[in-house]
Amino acid sequence: MAVAEVVKYNGSPDVFAWKYPSEELGTWTQLVVNESQEAVLVKSGKVLDAFGSGRHTLDTANIPILNNIINLPFGGRSPFTAEVWFINKGYNLDVKWGTPTPIQIQDPKYGIFAPVRSNGAFGIHISDAKKFLIKLVTTMPTFDTATITKYFRSLYVTKVKDAISTYLVHKQISILEINAYIDELSKHMKERIRPVMDDYGIELVSFYVNEISVPEDDTAVKKLKDALSKRAEMNIIGYSYQQERSFDTLEGAAKNTGSTAAPLMGAGMGLGMGLGMGRGVGRSFSNITHEIQINNNEESTKECPNCHSRISNMQRFCGNCGFDTEKKPEAKKEQSLMCSACGSAIEKNTKFCPECGRKINHCPNCGNDIGDDTTRCDICGYEKPQQCPNCGAEISAKSKFCPECGHVLVKFCPKCNSPIEGESKFCPECGEKL
């Protein structure tokens, strides 16, 4: 009977547990254990002892329990049958993991169901060789990284789904925003998985989520991305979805040259009320419809010098503002420029008042001094630009929406949706208390 003389590790570097091929051993057999390894001797399914790094001689002095197992002398040597397992206790920090199939998760922010995939890597270290061998390896000849990934697949897939769902619901964020929380998710999942692996003698050193992704060709995801892109575009330009639909409707009506004013005006009013835009939108539709009718008329039109509306060439008074288009404009008298604080005369290039020493804020239109406590020029009516309270962009004083971020600058009546200027306490259109 052949008896092994030297027993040492001959396996692959990515193997966590490897069994020596021969089970024919004997006392005085030399057991060689490398650094970061541990050898475990198993006899009849029972773990006898574990050996650390170095060279060991198998005899009854090293293994006292052999006295109860081996009792046949062979010239000073006693052959016996046993298994020798080599356990790799080095740190393996690049064990890949991933969800084999997409996980269906509902987006709490937009309500859609989307398939989510995730992948990453984790690092492990065999902390208890005996527990690892008894509970996990059992009778397998080798136990490598692929086996680890396979054994714990259901564990990390369940924890990944639970962690992602928890973050989405508790933080009320979209699936498209979850990648901003990858570092937090990695730490959270490590704490959830580590106790389970400890039961098998494995220390979870690290756990990383590299990516959380949704398929680009998924119908629900494509619709969501298109909608978010459209919303961003409207916020930049400064109009809402209802206004865009109204513009599309009017554009289609303008291309229909056979239409008449009355039906189109009625449709515009109905559409404006149906969209909840109230009398203000209805009046806008009426004005635009009137312009469409005039442009389609065969007779020539002219422009009102006051409000720039297009009116019939036969009209003297503008139907929009009542301006007399045939009245000759009076020559404007040049007004002298003066300091708004003391009333002293100043020039256009004056930087400080010669009487009171106040710094002059010249109107960019006429050069007059604009007071510190006012935003309007007394001579030409120029209004200083204001700042958006949301993004700080410089905008016109008459703007109702910020052209940069879309912030609403004018209040609207909650009942009739009419614009409210200043600090009015009642709506000027319907009398609703604000």
Radius of gyration from C-alpha coordinates of the chain: 42
pLDDT at position 267 over 60: no
pLDDT band for 275, please (50, 70, 90 cuts). very low
Task: State how far the alpha carbon of 45 is from the alpha carbons of 84, 127, 202, in Å.
Answer: 11, 21, 21
pLDDT at position 273 over 50: no
Characterise 357 by phi-psi region: left (phi > 0), alpha (psi -120 to 50), beta (else). Answer: left
Q: Residue 208's closest CA among 95, 364, 45? A: 95
Cβ 400 vs Cβ 393: under 8 Å: no
- Alpha carbon 346 to chain centroid, angstroms: 56
pLDDT score for 11: 75
pLDDT score for 1: 45
Torsion angles phi and psi, residue 401, rounded to 5: -135, 145
Q: What is the DSSP letter of 67?
A: G
**Residue 433: other Cβ atoms inside 10 A:** 8
Cβ 309 vs Cβ 303: under 8 Å: yes
Q: What is the mean pLDDT of residues 328-347?
A: 71
The beta strand positions in 194-315, using DSSP E, are 202-213, 301-303, 310-312
Give the position of tokens 């020493």: 357
Q: What is the mean pLDDT of residues 302-316?
A: 81
List pLDDT tens digits, range 60-86. 555 655 555 554 444 445 677 888 999
Pairing of strands 37-43, 46-51: antiparallel
Cβ 250 vs Cβ 269: under 8 Å: no
pLDDT band for 202, please (50, 70, 90 cuts). very high
* Axis-axis angle for helices 241-255, 278-296 (nearest 10): 20
User: Taking the model in full, what pTM does it have?
Assistant: 0.48
What is the C-alpha separation between 111 and 106, in angstroms, rounded? 6
List pLDDT tens digits, range 339-356. 888 878 888 788 888 888
In the chain, % of residues over pLDDT 90: 10
List pLDDT tens digits, range 29-54. 888 999 889 999 888 778 888 899 89
Q: What is the mean pLDDT of residues 311-322?
A: 80
Residue 225, burial from CB neighbour count under 10 angstroms (0-12, 13-18, 19+): middle
pLDDT at position 255 over 70: no
What is the C-alpha separation between 92 and 204, in angstroms, rounded? 10
The secondary structure of 73-113, three-state, reads: CECCECEEECEEEEEECCCEEEEEEECCCCEEEECCCCCCE
Query: What is the three-class DSSP state of 39?
Result: strand
CB-based burial, 116-125: b 16+ in 10 Å, e otherwise: bbbebebbbb
Torsion angles phi and psi, residue 296, rounded to 5: -85, -10
What is the C-alpha separation between 211 and 213, in angstroms, rounded? 6
Question: Residue 291: CB partners within 8 Å, gap ≥ 6?
Answer: 309, 310
The beta strand positions in 222-309, using DSSP E, are 301-303
Cβ 390 vs Cβ 398: under 8 Å: no
pLDDT band for 58, please (50, 70, 90 cuts). confident
Pairing of strands 46-51, 142-144: unpaired
